[in-house]
Amino acid sequence: MSEPRRDRRDDRAAAQQAAGAGRDDRTAERDARIDRRRFQEGASALATGAIGRETTAGREADRLADLRRRLRQTSGRGRKLRGLLVLLRPYRARVGLMLLGLLLATGAALAPAPLAKLAIDEGIRKGDKGALDWIVVAFVASALAYWGATYLQTYMTGWVGQRALQDLRIQLFEHIQSLSLGFYSRNRAGVVISRLTNDVQALDSLVSDGVTTLFQSTLMLLGVVVTLLVFDVQLALLTFLAIPLLALGALAFRIASADAFRRTRERIAAITGYLQETLSGIRVVRSFGQERRHLDRFAELNEANRQANMTTVYLNASYFPAVELLSALVTVAILVIGGIQVIEGHTSTGVVFGFIAALNNFFDPIQQLSQLYTTYQSGMAALDKIFELLDEEPELRDRPGALELPPLRGELVFDGVSFRYGGDDDEGAWALREIDLVVPPGQTVALVGETGAGKSTFAKLVARFYDPSAGRVTIDGHDLRDVTARSLRAQMGIVPQEGFLFSGTIADNIAFGRPDATRAEVEAAAAAVGADRFVAALEHGYDTEVGERGSQLSAGQRQLIAFARALIADPRVLVLDEATSNVDIHTEARIEQGMRRLLAGRTAIVIAHRLSTIRHAGTIVVLEHGRIVEQGTHDELLAAEGRYWALYRDWAEQAAA
């Protein structure tokens, strides 16, 4: 910005502060000067033709960039199709039977045209009833062969296709369970669900029907080409003139439809994601009376989905009738030229009749392959989304040769640990900075601090949901990055702030970490944390269905079940992440004794806002802005009258109120 303009701006600011009068006039005058300058610049550009050249060149560049982008979207699919074929490898024998059925069915479908030619030329025109009888028998035999072969290939195609899709769903489910927590913080659950349901279902048509159509129509087309050449080379070459037109049409359809089919997969994923989110939060929607707003938003998403699908409808309505029209024109041309040749005696009636009969089998496979392209585009758009999910790499992997942890003593060490979300190259704020802490085996360490101080991040590093950006976390001297995640978490129990329960019975949820636990062990774990009282009051006791996410139980009851679930797994290291925040004072007092039993002899990291639950902790660590500002016992920190003393005073005042 030039100095005169900066001076004018400063002068205006001073004038505005001194008085408001005349401000609008000065602003209008400035805008007028700017408009005059821009007009002069524009006029100069028009005079030299600069704008026209830049605009035309820009539009041309945009069109080329869009074309390259669409072509790139359809590239790389060979690798994905090969990945899909890998799913068929375990069923090679049945795939072989399917291909055999396809070959036999194609051969039987090609027979009628040559047989029709023989019937006219050798039977009807010559009056040879014997030859006609044999030809009729051959017709019937080809029909029976076609029926049997089609049954074989249809059954085998369906069997192999459903098994392959079943394997794909299992592979996807296994993969998403291996992904790091960061993936789920970036992606909506409903969209991930759509990948396993809608997108896999879209592949069903491609795998079950598309494969059959692809092979059968291709074999049919090759067989018809040979048949046409045998009948009459000149008429066959005339027919083949339509192939370049069909190829150009298919290429144009491919480019135009690439975006459309991708958008349909994205729109249906958005609908599934919004539906899942709304159903999960239906109580909040009802409590705020936002049903109409959610309905309007759902209608908007459905309208976007309809528009995306209508784009594919327009493309199909333009392309496929054009193929039919071309087929009709070629048939008319063959009928006229072939009829003239018959009249002039250059060929026989049987040849022309057989040629036209075979011609239907020439355009039918092309039409089927064209229609298959719609299925192919839809299936490949779904496959693109599935491979995007499969290409997601877990942020945390076991290193090669990672150690299986032996039974733990439970010594935890934070050695110069710093961490921030988003990775080492991210510019985000540090969640933890230069943490040095030793937790002896069997000791309870309580983490306190204001919201955002880094307490939950500390617990996530202990469970190795994330790796530190700097420094290291060790357990019994082993860097957590050098041990297998499974062996670590097998000896670790976590009770989150919200006690998440799975659909099933109370007993099933308590035994979640130990499916082989006996009923006596389940009941003992419940009694230890004080859950047995409310369970005994239920009609079906431990066999009571808890509903989705434990909706049939109160928040406090769900949390008690979560305590029992952690206890029965007998972990050596226990993480309680504000585990009592969702229970009332009466329930908290009732389970405090159970918590002491749960924590006894175990290394424990306890995060709590209710400071009454951590007074007996071996060490209390006060975090502020990701750093340790104080640590010691409850009495020591109160005596120091530092940050913990202030937090405890505020909490006591709130509790008294």
Question: What average pLDDT does the segment 396-421 reach?
Answer: 86
CA distance 149 to 106: 9
In a domain, 86, yes or no: yes
Mean pLDDT across the chain: 76
Question: What average pLDDT does the segment 478-496 reach?
Answer: 85
In a domain, 405, yes or no: no
CA distance 567 to 604: 12
138 and 49 share a domain? no
CA distance 149 to 102: 7
pLDDT digits (tens, 9 = 90+) for 322-350: 777 887 888 888 788 888 887 877 777 77
Question: What average pLDDT does the segment 112-126 reach?
Answer: 74
Q: Under a CB-based contact definition with an 8 Å cutoff, are residues 361 and 216 in contact?
A: no
CA distance 152 to 590: 67
CA distances from 55 to 3, 37, 45, 49, 58 (A): 33, 21, 12, 10, 5
443 or 53: which carries more pLDDT confidence? 443
Give the three-state DSSP class for 516: coil
Last residue of a domain, one of 355, 390, 425: 390
Lowest mean pLDDT among 61-70, 479-488, 607-616: 61-70
461 and 549 share a domain? yes
DSSP symbols for 84-95: HHHTTGGGHHHH
CA distance 488 to 407: 10
pLDDT, position 425: 52
CA distances from 596 to 545, 616, 617 (A): 29, 9, 10
435 and 355 share a domain? no
Question: What average pLDDT does the segment 474-479 reach?
Answer: 90
* Residue 403 DSSP one-character state: B
341 or 265: which carries more pLDDT confidence? 341
435 and 359 share a domain? no
Q: Which residues, in sequence order, are CB contacts of 264 under 8 Å at separation 6+?
A: 305, 308, 309, 312, 378, 381
449 and 574 share a domain? yes
In this prediction, residue 553 has a pLDDT band, given cuts at 50, 70 and 90, of: confident
81 and 63 share a domain? no
Percent helix, strand and coil across the chain, each to the nearest 5:
70, 10, 20
* pLDDT-above-90 percentage for the chain: 2
pLDDT digits (tens, 9 = 90+) for 29-81: 444 454 444 444 444 443 444 444 444 555 555 554 554 444 444 445 566 66
Side-chain half-sphere CA neighbours of 545 within 13 A? 3
Question: What average pLDDT does the segment 642-646 reach?
Answer: 86
CA 651 to chain centre: 44
606 or 587: which carries more pLDDT confidence? 606
Lowest mean pLDDT among 61-75, 385-399, 520-534: 61-75
Last residue of a domain, one of 42, 69, 96: 69
pLDDT, position 591: 62
CA distance 210 to 375: 7
pLDDT at 657 over 70: no
Q: Under a CB-based contact definition with an 8 Å cutoff, are residues 212 and 223 in contact?
A: no
pLDDT, position 616: 79
pLDDT, position 436: 92
35 and 108 share a domain? no
In this prediction, residue 589 has a pLDDT band, given cuts at 50, 70 and 90, of: low
CATH number of the CATH domain containing 611:
3.40.50.300
* pLDDT-above-70 percentage for the chain: 80
CA distance 197 to 362: 37
Q: Which of 373, 21, 65 is nearest to 214 (CA)?
A: 373
In a domain, 370, yes or no: yes
pLDDT, position 585: 65
In this prediction, residue 106 has a pLDDT band, given cuts at 50, 70 and 90, of: confident
pLDDT digits (tens, 9 = 90+) for 184-199: 777 777 778 878 877 8
Burial of 44 (0-12, 13-18, 19+ CB in 10 A): exposed
In this prediction, residue 552 has a pLDDT band, given cuts at 50, 70 and 90, of: confident
In a domain, 402, yes or no: no
In a domain, 563, yes or no: yes
The one-letter code for the residue type at 164 is A
Q: Under a CB-based contact definition with an 8 Å cutoff, are residues 564 and 530 in contact?
A: no
Q: Under a CB-based contact definition with an 8 Å cutoff, are residues 530 and 489 in contact?
A: no
Domain range holding 16? Answer: 3-69
Q: Which of 168, 167, 164, 172 is nearest to 94 (CA)?
A: 164
326 and 474 share a domain? no
pLDDT at 426 over 70: no
pLDDT, position 561: 85
543 or 424: which carries more pLDDT confidence? 543
CA distances from 425 to 215, 428, 430 (A): 50, 9, 12
pLDDT at 638 over 60: yes
pLDDT, position 564: 85
259 and 313 share a domain? yes
173 and 55 share a domain? no
pLDDT digits (tens, 9 = 90+) for 192-236: 887 887 788 777 777 777 777 777 778 888 888 888 888 888 888
pLDDT, position 382: 79
417 and 473 share a domain? yes
Q: Under a CB-based contact definition with an 8 Å cutoff, are residues 630 and 456 in contact?
A: no
pLDDT digits (tens, 9 = 90+) for 343-376: 877 777 777 777 777 777 777 777 777 667 667 7
CA distance 289 to 516: 45
Long-range CB pairs of 385-389 (<8 Å, 24+ gap) are: 385/195, 385/199, 385/265, 385/266, 385/269, 386/168, 386/172, 386/195, 386/199, 386/200, 386/203, 387/80, 387/83, 389/172, 389/175, 389/176, 389/192, 389/195
In this prediction, residue 7 has a pLDDT band, given cuts at 50, 70 and 90, of: very low
In a domain, 407, yes or no: no
In this prediction, residue 251 has a pLDDT band, given cuts at 50, 70 and 90, of: confident
In a domain, 136, yes or no: yes
CA distance 12 to 631: 56
Give the three-state DSSP class for 547: coil
In this prediction, residue 428 has a pLDDT band, given cuts at 50, 70 and 90, of: low
In a domain, 404, yes or no: no
641 and 563 share a domain? yes
Question: What average pLDDT does the segment 500-527 reach?
Answer: 86
Q: Which residues, in sequence order, are CB contacts of 304 under 8 Å at separation 6+?
A: 267, 270
pLDDT, position 372: 73
| Residue owning tokens 């001076």 | 7
DSSP symbols for 409-455: ---EEEEEEEE-TT-TT--SPPSEEEEEEEE-TT-EEEEE-STTSSH
Question: What average pLDDT does the segment 93-113 reach?
Answer: 84
CA 576 to chain centre: 31
Q: Under a CB-based contact definition with an 8 Å cutoff, are residues 506 and 561 in contact?
A: yes
pLDDT at 513 over 70: yes
CATH number of the CATH domain containing 144:
1.20.1560.10
Q: Which residues, in sequence order, are CB contacts of 307 under 8 Å at separation 6+?
A: none
pLDDT at 615 over 50: yes
Q: How many domains does the chain have?
A: 3
